[in-house]
Homo-oligomer: A and B are copies of this chain.
């Protein structure tokens, strides 16, 4: 069991024990805490990671596991996999860490057409995939809570997302740990060679401005605790300050025993709805005032080890 999973489970156990030790109130039953919701979940409330849509980003400090979302950004997911499979990222680095914003990785020489790393079969740029068409039957779990950045917010396929019924479009939301493809001024100047993860307060103004294509499901702390770069926008000033990337692989390309054995909660279930409610209004004794609201990026999307 890795460290992050240990933290998650320890926190869950602690919360559960704290609640079980609290006096049972008379009258109406207390709604369940998140720990209780998770403890009561069944196998069908969880889904394993798909190895073909999972990236393993290995830093000196350890592994970052990214779940990709081909529904939202099919071309970007395919291209990032192509880049990974030609070894594009191996030996490159995290080049930028801006406090309360993002960590970004790719080629430190990206700006120099002579020095930058060549791309063999993948694409350097792709048309933007900022939004997708809302399809009939799409399992969008809408939050009833108001959101200032989008007409509707919720979850689609396990990812935080937004929707505009009037325009028939949906898109991924820039919550903590979401992963996207950096770009220059032109909307179609991204594609995969420069990637970033959100490491601070959700920069939702980036929604529909950059192609998001995944979420860090394990190891985000390896990116969020990197020293902040001291050049503009958090870029590292000196090469030695960067965090080298040992290698990146698609989980399907490593032996099964070496793949992360993780499962993610499904977001289109009664269990998930109960989990959201347990966070919207906290039954825990510690809370004196209830928020009666939950903001999209404050909803946890639990990840746990696959039960053997």
Which secondary structure dominates where chain A touches chain B? loop
Chain B residue numbers with a CB within 8 Å of A233 are 11, 14
Chain B residue numbers with a CB within 8 Å of A228 are 3, 7, 221, 225
Which of A207, A224, A291, A297: most chain B Cβ within 10 A?
A: A291
> Is A273 engaged at the interface, CB distance under 8 Å to the other chain?
no
Copies in the complex: 2
Tell me the complex Cα distance, A14–B233, Å. 9
Please report which residues of chain A, range 115-172, place their CB below 8 angstroms from some CB of chain B when the two chains form the complex.
130, 145-149
Given A230-B3, A232-B11, check contact A209 B146 (CB 8 Å): no
A-side interface residues, number (CB < 8 Å): 57
Given A6-B230, A10-B232, A220-B100, check contact A298 B205 (CB 8 Å): yes
- State whether A232 touches B200 (Cβ < 8 A): no
What residue of chain B has the Cβ atom nearest to residue A22's Cβ?
B185
- State whether B201 touches A175 (Cβ < 8 A): yes
Q: Mark A215-228, 1 if CB is under 8 A from B, else 0.
A: 00000110011111
> Is A176 engaged at the interface, CB distance under 8 Å to the other chain?
yes
> Is A76 engaged at the interface, CB distance under 8 Å to the other chain?
no
- State whether A293 touches B7 (Cβ < 8 A): no
Q: Mark A287-300, 1 if CB is under 8 A from B, else 0.
A: 11101011101100
Of the candidate stretches A36-44, A86-94, A278-286, the one touching chain B is A278-286
- State whether B227 touches A291 (Cβ < 8 A): no
Tell me the complex Cα distance, A145–B279, Å. 23
Given A14-B232, A100-B224, A225-B228, check contact A204 B291 (CB 8 Å): yes
Q: How far is the CB of A98 from chain B (nearest CB, A)?
A: 8
Q: Which 7 residue pairs of A and B lie closest in terms of their CB atoms, listed nearest first?
A: A148-B293, A208-B289, A10-B232, A14-B232, A205-B291, A99-B221, A221-B228
Q: List 27 A-B contacts (CB under 8 A).
A: A4-B99, A7-B99, A7-B229, A7-B230, A14-B232, A99-B220, A100-B176, A100-B220, A130-B288, A130-B289, A149-B293, A149-B295, A200-B224, A201-B202, A202-B295, A204-B298, A205-B287, A205-B291, A205-B294, A209-B286, A209-B288, A209-B289, A221-B227, A221-B228, A224-B224, A225-B225, A225-B227
Residues of A that sit less than 8 Å from B by CB: 3-4, 6-7, 10-11, 13-14, 98-100, 130, 145-149, 175-177, 185, 187, 200-205, 207-209, 220-221, 224-234, 279, 282, 285-289, 291, 293-295, 297-298
